[in-house]
C-alpha cells in the first residue's frame, strides 16, 4: 500500500474512528438519560415513599422534584442483587434509592460516581469473601457495608426498619451511603469531597475536636446524641453523625451544634426545619 495512505489512515482515520465511537457512546448515554427523565415517577413508587421513607415526605417541596429525578436516574444507573433468597422488588429499590438520594438532594447534579451495585441480604450477614474486611477465621455479622470499589451491602430487615422509624437516630442506609460519599476520593477517612476546597479547614477543625469528645464519651460510657460507634474512627464518626443529622436534628443541634452546622453546610439541607 502507498505509504501516504498508511500515514493518512494513522493520523486522520484512527482519531476519526475513536472520536466517532466516543460520540456515539455519549449520544447513546444521553438518549438513555432523556428516556429515564421522560418517564413519570409512578404512583406505586410514591406510595412506597409514603409507606417506607417518611423522612423523604417531610422534605421541603422545592427539593421534592429533584429527589424524584435523582431516584429515577439512580435506579437506571445502579444494579441491585439479592442474596440469601432476597428477590429484588420495587419496594427494595425505591426505599434504598430514596435515602441514598436524600443525602445528595441539597446539591444539584450530585450523585454517586463510584457506585456500581447494591447487594441486599434478608437480615444480618457475615462478611462476604469479596469484602475488603473479610477474615475467614473471624466472621462478623453486619447490617451494612460500603466498599470504596463501589458496592453497598444492606440487611433488608434493618434497612426497612431504619427507614420507617425516623426518630431513633439509627438508619443503616443513610450510614452506608454517607460512607460512599466519604469514599468518593478512594479513602474512608471521614473527609468527603467538598464543592469548595476552602470547606476542608473548617471540616477538619470541627471533626477533630468533636471526634475527641465522642471518644471521651464512649470511653466513659456517657450518654450521647451520637451513637458510641462513632468513636471507632473518623469515617464512622461521619456516618453516625449523618444518621443523627437526619433523624435527631433538634437534639444534635442542641447538644453538638458544631456538628449540626458543618453537616448542614455540607449536605445543604436543614432537617430541623422539616
Tell me the window of 35-43, 53-61, 85-93, 232-240 that interacts with Zn ion (CB under 5 A): 232-240
Find all residues with CB under 8 Å of 75, minimum gap 6, and list them: 93, 94, 97
Tell me the window of 14-22, 205-213, 229-237, 246-254 that interacts with Zn ion (CB under 5 A): 229-237
Cβ nearer to Zn ion, comparing 59 with 239: 239
Cβ nearer to Zn ion, comparing 68 with 236: 236
* Binding to Zn ion, residues 50-69 (CB under 5 A): none
Rounded to the nearest 5°, which phi and psi values hold at 222? -80, 150
Judge whether 183 and 234 are in contact, CB under 8 Å: no
- The nearest distance, CB 216 to Zn ion, in angstroms, is 20
Tell me the window of 40-48, 116-124, 219-227, 231-239 that interacts with Zn ion (CB under 5 A): 231-239
- The nearest distance, CB 228 to Zn ion, in angstroms, is 13
- The nearest distance, CB 239 to Zn ion, in angstroms, is 5
- The nearest distance, CB 121 to Zn ion, in angstroms, is 16
- The nearest distance, CB 151 to Zn ion, in angstroms, is 14
Judge whether 211 and 242 are in contact, CB under 8 Å: no
- The nearest distance, CB 230 to Zn ion, in angstroms, is 9
Cβ nearer to Zn ion, comparing 239 with 252: 239
Judge whether 242 and 263 are in contact, CB under 8 Å: yes
Cβ nearer to Zn ion, comparing 142 with 248: 142
Residue nearest to Zn ion (CB): 239
Cβ nearer to Zn ion, comparing 71 with 239: 239
Rounded Cα gap, residues 237 and 247, in angstroms: 15
Binder among 239, 241, 244, 262 for Zn ion (CB under 5 A): 239
Query: Residue 154 interacts with Zn ion (CB under 5 A)?
Result: no
Tell me the window of 11-19, 69-77, 204-212, 234-242 that interacts with Zn ion (CB under 5 A): 234-242
Judge whether 83 and 125 are in contact, CB under 8 Å: yes
- The nearest distance, CB 145 to Zn ion, in angstroms, is 8
Number of residues that bind Zn ion (CB under 5 A): 2
> Which stretches of the chain bind Zn ion, using CB under 5 A?
236, 239
Amino acid at each position: 500500500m502507498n505509504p501516504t495512505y498508511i500515514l493518512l489512515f494513522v493520523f486522520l482515520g484512527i482519531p476519526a474512528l475513536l472520536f466517532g465511537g466516543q460520540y456515539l457512546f455519549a449520544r447513546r448515554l444521553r438518549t438513555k438519560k432523556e428516556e429515564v427523565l421522560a418517564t413519570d415517577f409512578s404512583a406505586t413508587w410514591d406510595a412506597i415513599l409514603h409507606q417506607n421513607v417518611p423522612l423523604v415526605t417531610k422534605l421541603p417541596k422545592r427539593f421534592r422534584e429533584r429527589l424524584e429525578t435523582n431516584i429515577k436516574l439512580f435506579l437506571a444507573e445502579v444494579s441491585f442483587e439479592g442474596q440469601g433468597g432476597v428477590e429484588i422488588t420495587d419496594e427494595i429499590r425505591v426505599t434504598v434509592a430514596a435515602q441514598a438520594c436524600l443525602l445528595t438532594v441539597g446539591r444539584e447534579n450530585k450523585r454517586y460516581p463510584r457506585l456500581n451495585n447494591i447487594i441486599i441480604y434478608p437480615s444480618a450477614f457475615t462478611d462476604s469473601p469479596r469484602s475488603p474486611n473479610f477474615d475467614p477465621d473471624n466472621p462478623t455479622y453486619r447490617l451494612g457495608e460500603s466498599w470504596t470499589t463501589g458496592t453497598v451491602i444492606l440487611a433488608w430487615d434493618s434497612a426497612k426498619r431504619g427507614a420507617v422509624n425516623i426518630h431513633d437516630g439509627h438508619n443503616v442506609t443513610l450510614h452506608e451511603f454517607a460512607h460512599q460519599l466519604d469514599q468518593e476520593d478512594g479513602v474512608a477517612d471521614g473527609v468527603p469531597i467538598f464543592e469548595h476546597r476552602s470547606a476542608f479547614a473548617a471540616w477538619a477543625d470541627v471533626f477533630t475536636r468533636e471526634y475527641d469528645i465522642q471518644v471521651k464519651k464512649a470511653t466513659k460510657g456517657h450518654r450521647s446524641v451520637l451513637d458510641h460507634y462513632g468513636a471507632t474512627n473518623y469515617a464512622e464518626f461521619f456516618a453516625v453523625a449523618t444518621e443523627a443529622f437526619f433523624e435527631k436534628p433538634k437534639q444534635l443541634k442542641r447538644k453538638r451544634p458544631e456538628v449540626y452546622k458543618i453537616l448542614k453546610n455540607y449536605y445543604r439541607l436543614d432537617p430541623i426545619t422539616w
